[in-house]
């Protein structure tokens, strides 16, 4: 008899760095710390999520992501024993020779090649498909980790896709939207381009359902620093290991924890 297993997964972009502020590309080769604003963003999202339990925390091993995750866990009242796992598969997309240079350089190279900036791959950089392959490897790793560390028995996964959560993709809502009834909640801290590609894969390839009234332009829009996207994922056990059988997006790019910061700035 096959068993289903339901989990929540919250993807969160790292806080701001000075390179973000100066509109310079970082990718993987430029590993900068959070700016003062980035630290404040990390504190703000940590306070927003302070009463939310995380059973697992996976983090890109670039320092801006690690620092953001540290601020979240430091503020959290429910995860005193939870340790972050640093995962290179969550690193930002590599932008090759344009890392450290202004974003305008990437736009100019893309225009010269007759391509959109998002789709263009600079020399030495990763293609979108290569980043998607990394994300697929991470999902496989994640699902197998959860298979080993959590109990699959007794879950009514079919029901979990219908519970809780904000009915739209607006930035405002409750921190616990979509978290009712399932003990497994994974926090994934990564980066802007990587998360956009991950969400695109979830929606277009894995047929993840979207919040009512959500517009594709908003779903695939750039995630703000410390923006949060949450998914409910149902896995099914198979002979080859756990496989995704259904997914629903609760919200995308939520950032209402930043509104007070923006007002101050």
Q: Is residue 203 part of a domain?
A: yes
Segment 37-72, tens digit of pLDDT = 999 999 999 999 999 999 999 999 999 999 999 999
Give me the pLDDT at residue 2, please: 54
Please tell me whether 120 is known to bind a ligand: no
Residue found by looking up tokens 């999902």 in the block: 139
Please tell me whether 13 is known to bind a ligand: yes
Please tell me whether 121 is known to bind a ligand: no
Please tell me whether 237 is known to bind a ligand: no
Judged by DSSP in three states, 221 sits in coil
Segment 200-234, tens digit of pLDDT = 999 999 999 999 889 998 899 999 999 999 999 99
Which contiguous run of DSSP H or E holds residue 44?
A: helix 36-48
Question: Residue 200's domain spans which residues?
Answer: 4-162+177-263
Give me the pLDDT at residue 165, please: 41
**Contacting residues for 265 by C-beta, under 8 A, at least 6 apart:** 37
Please tell me whether 226 is known to bind a ligand: no
Bridge partners (DSSP) listed for residue 254: 228
Give me the pLDDT at residue 59, please: 98
Dihedrals φ, ψ of 111, to 5°? -60, -40
Q: Is residue 73 part of a domain?
A: yes
Please tell me whether 140 is known to bind a ligand: no
Judged by DSSP in three states, 240 sits in coil
Dihedrals φ, ψ of 122, to 5°? -70, 160
Please tell me whether 93 is known to bind a ligand: no
Q: Is residue 50 part of a domain?
A: yes
Q: What is the CATH number of the domain that holds 86?
A: 3.40.50.1240
Q: Is residue 170 part of a domain?
A: no
What is the full per-residue pLDDT of the chain (265 aa) written as tens digits? Answer: 357 888 999 999 999 999 999 999 999 999 999 999 999 999 999 999 999 999 999 999 999 999 999 999 999 999 888 899 999 999 999 999 999 999 999 999 999 999 999 899 999 999 999 999 999 999 999 999 988 887 666 554 444 444 444 333 444 689 999 998 778 999 999 999 999 999 999 999 999 999 988 999 889 999 999 999 999 999 988 888 888 999 999 999 999 999 888 654 5
Angle at alpha carbon of residue 111, lines to 97 and 15, rounded to 5°: 55
C-beta separation of 69 from 57 below 8 A: yes
DSSP codes joined into one string, 158-213 = HHHTTS-S-SS--S---TTTT-TT-S-EEEEEE-HHHHHHHHHIIIIIS--B--TT
C-beta separation of 19 from 92 below 8 A: no
Q: Is residue 29 part of a domain?
A: yes
Give me the pLDDT at residue 107, please: 95
Q: Is residue 172 part of a domain?
A: no
Please tell me whether 29 is known to bind a ligand: no
Please tell me whether 15 is known to bind a ligand: yes
The tally of domains found in the chain comes to 1
Query: Cα separation of 52 and 36, whole Å?
Result: 25
Judged by DSSP in three states, 15 sits in coil
Give me the pLDDT at residue 234, please: 93
Which contiguous run of DSSP H or E holds residue 69?
A: helix 63-75
Query: Cα separation of 190 and 134, whole Å?
Result: 12
Judged by DSSP in three states, 243 sits in strand
**pTM of the model as a whole:** 0.92
Q: Is residue 143 part of a domain?
A: yes
Q: Is residue 235 part of a domain?
A: yes
Query: Cα separation of 259 and 255, whole Å?
Result: 7
C-beta separation of 44 from 226 below 8 A: yes
Please tell me whether 48 is known to bind a ligand: no
């Amino acid at each position: 008899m096959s068993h289903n297993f339901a989990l929540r997964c919250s993807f969160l972009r790292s806080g701001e760095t000075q390179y973000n502020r100066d509109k310079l590309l970082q990718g993987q080769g430029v590993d900068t710390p959070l700016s003062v604003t980035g630290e404040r963003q990390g504190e703000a999202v940590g306070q927003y999520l302070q009463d939310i339990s995380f059973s697992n925390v996976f983090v890109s091993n670039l320092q801006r992501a690690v620092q953001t995750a540290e601020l979240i866990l430091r503020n959290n009242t429910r995860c005193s024993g939870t340790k972050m796992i640093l995962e290179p598969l969550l690193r930002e997309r590599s932008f090759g020779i344009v890392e450290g240079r202004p974003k305008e350089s990437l736009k100019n190279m893309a225009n010269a090649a007759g391509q959109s900036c998002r789709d263009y791959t600079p020399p030495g950089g990763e293609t979108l498909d290569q980043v998607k392959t990394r994300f697929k490897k991470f999902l496989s790793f994640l699902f197998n980790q959860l298979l080993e560390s959590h109990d699959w028995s007794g879950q009514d996964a079919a029901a979990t896709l219908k519970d809780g959560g904000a009915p739209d993709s607006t930035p405002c809502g409750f921190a616990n939207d979509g978290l009712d009834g399932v003990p497994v909640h994974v926090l994934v801290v990564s980066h802007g381009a990587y998360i956009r590609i991950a969400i695109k894969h979830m929606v277009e390839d894995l047929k993840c359902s979207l919040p009512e009234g959500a517009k594709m332009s908003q779903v695939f829009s750039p995630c703000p620093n410390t923006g949060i996207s949450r998914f409910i994922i149902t896995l099914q056990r198979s002979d080859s290991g756990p496989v995704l059988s259904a997914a629903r997006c609760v919200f995308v790019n939520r950032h209402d924890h930043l509104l007070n910061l923006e007002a101050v700035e």
